[in-house]
Amino acid sequence: MQSSGVLFEGLDRKLSPLPESTDAPVHNPSLNLAMRFQVSGDFEINITATLTTANSTYFLFHGVIPMVQDEWYYALSTFKAQIVNGDWCYWTMYHPDNTESGNAAARVGTNVIYTFKREGAELVFLTNGVEVTRQPDLGLFDDGVVYLSLDEANVGATFLVTQITTTGTVEETPVRSVPKTAGTLRDKAGTFRMGTAVATYPMVFDEQYRAILGNEFNQITPENCMKFQFIQPARGVYDFYESDKLIDYAERNGMEVHGHTVAWNEATPQWLWKGWNDGTITATEVGEILDEHIETLFGRYKGRMVSFDLINEPFMGWTDQLRDSVWFQALGRGYIERALRKAHEVDPDVLLFINEWGCEETGDKQDFLFNLVVELQTAGVPIHGVGLQMHEDVNAEYQASWPPNTPSVTKAHLKSAIARFKSLGIEVRVSELDINQHQIYADTPQAVADWYAQYLEACIEEGAHSFTMWGFTDRWSSLNEWYDYYHHGNGLIYDAQYQPKLSYQALANKLPSTHPTKNGYLL
């Protein structure tokens, strides 16, 4: 923020595709103005800006909140204009049934007013009063609201927004405390940690999401905004806009923060992969980048996080081999020790976790994680806990020969896993629970609710550190299909309309209003 306006610096945020994919990185512009515009009928939004070295500036006008997951970004009902070299505009309209794009000359000087408006049945974009394009309105803003994303593709280039005006109503959306009521999961849990992963955009812009989040849970995990490619989108360039809001929300609502994650193959930024593969970043530099990233992130939030998934999914599939990540290629197995020691050095009060899937049942992969922890402990490395992800399926194709509504992990499996890892003197948490219903029979919702309850019972009975679901509403779920904004998942405890399911009530029934404890944990 400057006294004369808001300075936007180019980050060129991108989401890296899966390592084995040949897909290009996905543009991931931040929804970086905590305001929305209430509009009806004809409307006009004017953005007055001063361009410095900017020459590839994005303006995105969204009719619905964008959805972001690990490898994809979905901006439905959006008009996007990109001004290149001050004299050309590339525009795209995204709509569920149609995508239109084109380009045209634009008149842009050092000082410019960008105008976006709806006139009758058309959408119009202008620069300094000169029309750039006029397109049929596809109903992008029929919900009566506009959200803004502003970005610059050239890293380090800037533009200064000095004024935004509108014929509609501007509503600021500051992070705030939400009312707390009796009888919620949070209220019944007492000191036991009931957690959820959090999507930042609905936390800021969706009142229903924000109200349920703060009222029902006492611990939150950032779903995406603390991943490496979000925090450091370009080398040495850090973006804390979203993670600052998450930390602020947690503190205003008396919630603990469990951070997530630094060293994960799938969230490695493209610039790091590219530099390593083409030799412009050496192995020594990879180690320095890891150290600096941890120092910056943990230093910024020192004393404000309780725990952190520092290492995420280190193993390759079901083997004992470590994933072929940049970290492993450059630093070998030692990257895990290095990251843990550095994080503990910066903030010794944060509990450091390794988070992994497929370790809830007795078997080779559980052994691999157990042995890794023993190896680290033997070397005196600070490792404080493991996360058991618990992404469960019922009635999937691979489960066709199983009894209906049966997931892979039972309560007995989970109790055994928690007890085994706790025997090493470390904490254990269920870290990413959801139950994906591939086929839904008449008794599936109740069966899923029973599984949720059994998993919570296992955590309570074995003294788990926390019980965290990977989101709480199907409206904002990692189980959404990437190609369909409205194809919601079904694996969480609230439906897409924010109504509690049987699974919610099953959890509530396991959390009595009184809070007897043993060794600090709910009984």
Note the pLDDT tens digit of each residue in 115-128. 999 999 999 999 99
User: What's the pLDDT tens digit per position in 168-213?
Assistant: 999 888 888 999 999 999 999 999 999 999 999 999 999 999 999 9
Catalytic residue among 313, 337, 360, 427: 313
Query: If you average pLDDT over residues 126-135, what whole number do you get?
Result: 93
User: What's the pLDDT tens digit per position in 270-305?
Assistant: 999 999 999 999 999 999 999 999 999 999 999 999
User: Nearest-5° angle of CA 463, CA 465, CA 470?
Assistant: 120
| CATH code reported for the domain at 185-522 | 3.20.20.80
Residues of the chain with CATH 2.60.120.200: 6-172
The pair phi, psi for residue 431, each rounded to 5°, is -110, -25
Q: Is the dihedral of CA 187, 193, 197, 199 positive or negative?
A: positive
Residue 184 has a pLDDT of: 97
Does residue 515 have a pLDDT over 60? no
> Is 119 one of the catalytic residues?
no
When mean pLDDT is compared across 63-72, 121-130, 401-410, 438-447, the lowest value belongs to 63-72
pLDDT band of residue 431 (cuts 50, 70, 90) is very high
Residue 179 has a pLDDT of: 94
Residue 92 has a pLDDT of: 93
Residue 405 vs residue 154, higher pLDDT: 405
Report the DSSP beta bridge partners of residue 166: 45
d(CA 150, CA 143): 21
Residue 53 has a pLDDT of: 60
217-238 burial, b at 16+ Cβ within 10 Å, e below that, comes to: bbbbbbbbbbbbbbbbbbeebb
Does residue 54 have a pLDDT over 60? no
Cβ atoms of 102 and 132 within 8 Å: the answer is no
pLDDT band of residue 516 (cuts 50, 70, 90) is very low
Q: What is the pTM of this model?
A: 0.94
> Is 122 one of the catalytic residues?
no
Query: If you average pLDDT over residues 51-55, what whole number do you get?
Result: 69
Query: If you average pLDDT over residues 424-436, what whole number do you get?
Result: 98
Does residue 343 have a pLDDT over 80? yes
pLDDT band of residue 521 (cuts 50, 70, 90) is very low
Q: What are the structure tokens assigned to 17, written together?
A: 């595709």
Q: Which CATH number fits domain 6-172: 3.10.28.10, 2.70.170.10, 2.30.140.10, 2.60.120.200?
A: 2.60.120.200
User: What's the pLDDT tens digit per position in 325-341?
Assistant: 999 999 999 999 999 99
Query: If you average pLDDT over residues 257-263, what whole number do you get?
Result: 98
Q: Which is nearest to 434 in space by CA: 250, 197, 192?
A: 197
Residue 180 has a pLDDT of: 95
User: What's the pLDDT tens digit per position in 346-399?
Assistant: 999 999 999 999 999 999 999 999 999 999 999 999 999 999 999 999 999 999
Question: What rounded mean pLDDT belongs to the chain?
Answer: 93
User: What's the pLDDT tens digit per position in 433-466?
Assistant: 999 999 999 999 999 999 999 999 999 999 999 9
Does residue 522 have a pLDDT over 70? no
Residue 8 vs residue 413, higher pLDDT: 413
Residue 98 has a pLDDT of: 82
Query: If you average pLDDT over residues 97-113, what whole number do you get?
Result: 87
Residue 16 has a pLDDT of: 86
Q: What are the structure tokens assigned to 128, written together?
A: 């300094």
d(CA 177, CA 497): 22
Residue 517 has a pLDDT of: 43
The pair phi, psi for residue 268, each rounded to 5°, is -75, 125
d(CA 53, CA 86): 10
389-408 burial, b at 16+ Cβ within 10 Å, e below that, comes to: bbbbbbbeeebeeeeebebb
pLDDT band of residue 97 (cuts 50, 70, 90) is confident
Q: Which is nearest to 286 in space by CA: 322, 243, 239, 334?
A: 334
pLDDT band of residue 502 (cuts 50, 70, 90) is very high
pLDDT over 90 percentage in the chain: 78
What ranges in 253-387 are assigned the alpha helix state H? Answer: 270-278, 283-300, 326-331, 334-346, 364-378
Cβ atoms of 293 and 240 within 8 Å: the answer is no
Catalytic residue among 152, 216, 360, 432: 432
Residues of the chain with CATH 3.20.20.80: 185-522
d(CA 475, CA 509): 24
pLDDT over 70 percentage in the chain: 97
Residue 208 has a pLDDT of: 96
d(CA 181, CA 171): 26
